[in-house]
Structure 1
Amino acid sequence: MASSTLSSFLRRSLTELRDRGLYQQIDSLEGPNGPVISMRGRSFVNLSSNNYLGLATDSRLAEAAVEATVRYGVGSGAVRTINGTLALHAELEEKLAAFKGTEAAVAYPSGFNCNMAAISAVMDAGDAILSDELNHASIIDGCRLSKANVIRYRHSDMDDLRAKAREARESGRYAKIMAITDGVFSMDGDIARLPDIADIAEEYDLITYVDDAHGSGVLGGGAGTVKHFGLTDRIDLQIGTLSKAVGVVGGYVAGTRDLADWLKARSRPFLFSTSLPPGAVAASIAAIGLVAGSPELLGRLWDNAEYLQRGLRELGYALGPTETPITPCLVGDEEMTQRLSASLYEKGVYARAIVFPTVPRGAGRIRNMPTAGHTKEMLDLALAAYGEAGRELGLIP
């Protein structure tokens, strides 16, 4: 018989979430996650996918995945350190290292895994981590797992970072100190001040760590935020995902050969997770080749982002500090954010509400993600829906 304590807790907590507009209904797609999606027999302009370059539905990736699956099977069969490392995994890591401009790279089953793995493998009790207050949840959890002392600094506030780095170094308490930041912040679309962070790191002997999940494939000619600023030789750990611009699934850590060897020997997600399936690895290899060799994909992404952002601003929406294709329409109130999302849905636009705990309370927004796959006609439909919904709800004039 189920625990009455658990049942009571779950019913009470779920009711509270629904009453406060914080419960997110999970929708199921009836086809591929492209610029237009199908659900419940209807089609929607899709503005909620991280499929920046449209590669998740690219036939070339599908062909590579099918060929590898037929040759190697649907799964890799073991963890990497036993006999779950296929020739494909080694090829992927070589391609990733070349893509990021580093000596080596290590692939993981997910980007979330990367932050759980790398932070806790390098940092431990007796160390300190200087972490931007808006870093991704996976960074926060990785920091907790490391048992290091976590010192949060104000978002992109370099004076605060410098002061806390000085205090941590001069205290003499810590064997190692790491500065860790997202490259592109996923909820606002702003870019970390990496040149300043690199300067502060050199001044106070900090390990530098950049989670570039939303920068890889988007900035730096596709190579990411670190390449965007020309800092490849000054950042110790670059973390990336294979599930956003690359369009598949998985993640990776790029850095020195010694770092890769250490992570393969000591990072628990690498040691205890079955390795990426062959189809996903082969598709990722194909995608990296396309990202590196197809600047027109990035061009279409940025052109569409600028078009959508200009149109939303002209309608009267506040988009905040975004510097990237991430396009948040800031609403604030969670219930109103959900109402806007529901109204857009009724008008044929799928744009999900982002509310607490993904963002702070009172900071609800619709996060729009234009991609290289959208046409101007699709974006015009979305803008028309935003205009109608915003006026109906009193959010814009």
Structure 2
Amino acid sequence: MTHLLPDADWRHRPGLDALLSALGAGRGEARFVGGAVRDGLLGLPVNDLDIATVLDPRGVIDRLKSAGIKAVPTGIDHGTVTAVIHGWPVEITSLRRDVSTDGRRATIAYTDDWREDAARRDFTINALYADPITHEITDFFGGVDDLKARHVRFIGDATARIAEDHLRILRYFRFLARFGHDEPDAQAYAACRAAANSLMALSRERIADELLKLLAVAAPLPALRLMIDGGILAPVLPEIDRSSLDRLAALADREAASSTPPSALRRLAALLPPDPRVADLVGARLKLSNKARKRLAVALEGPATGMPPRALAYRIGVEGAIDRLLLDPHAPLEGLAALHDWTPPRLPIGGGALIARGLPPGPDVAKALQQIQDIWVAEGFPGEPRLAEIADQTVSKFQRARQ
């Protein structure tokens, strides 16, 4: 049965026809491949576009330059050139076959055999090609049927595919969470479990990137449960266990109930023990940015109850307050509304105003300002008249104490 790629807005982006013409799509030399074809068949938005071609990278660059299209050799050692059309990047990769691999990187050779290129890809649903002119789908391994059945499986032998790139273990569960029906392919699951220790050979950056992509999926919980039950994460993230799933489930429910967009970092915080020191250690191990590490630690520093939401946000930042409110099962969700589109104000009074009220310059000025700020925050950031009263009362208190 012939399958066709449905029409969609992304196929009419400015400059795409000229790019396809330069790559010889009309002569069968270039096809859409991978995620764009998969998501296009599902009617999902397509943001990242990949094109496969029989041309080698040098041939791609020459064709693009002749057509006046910007070419960036982003991954030329792996056969990938990025074309930039109207500010939109399109990855163009030459057909390849693996010569050798150590599970982290592959030595490749170029080929003009589409099936050979498809055979080195990970999952059947990712090894789909579409002719840009006829829209016909080329499917060597039953990927279209798997997509319809929401069946995520490796191409050929799962153990062999994982041996080529250990990261495919984590990718499997991300794709299962996004495109599957929460029931893993038996061969794939067994192969992932058997090879879990091989994740230790990967860079922590790659592990973090894949884990955060999984946590960004709408419903990652069933896939994560399979991973934890199968001992997949234990070699690299032993802090995540079955109790982690209960915390994540509670967070996901609160995100949904409050219509708060999911956050992968917030969900990672839910998976970790509620200890900021552990969160920082995990963040360091995963080579997260300093900003991401701080967010994890702040989210787990304590409960959200005990002070009004805006007072909390003034102290730790709006993002941190939202994280804490969602992670704390005892915090009323109504508090989130107070933070929507709210920017913490600056205390509209300085030391000069206190000195003008008669407080002598010195350490008392900073102490008085801190007390004024504490009262101002506790009272919900009142306006100028009330703030002036607070300042007068605080200065008087300090003056009395000096007498």
TM-score by length of 1: 0.23
Larger RCO of the pair (alpha carbons < 8 Å, separation 6+)? 1
TM-score (norm 2): 0.22
Higher helix proportion: 2
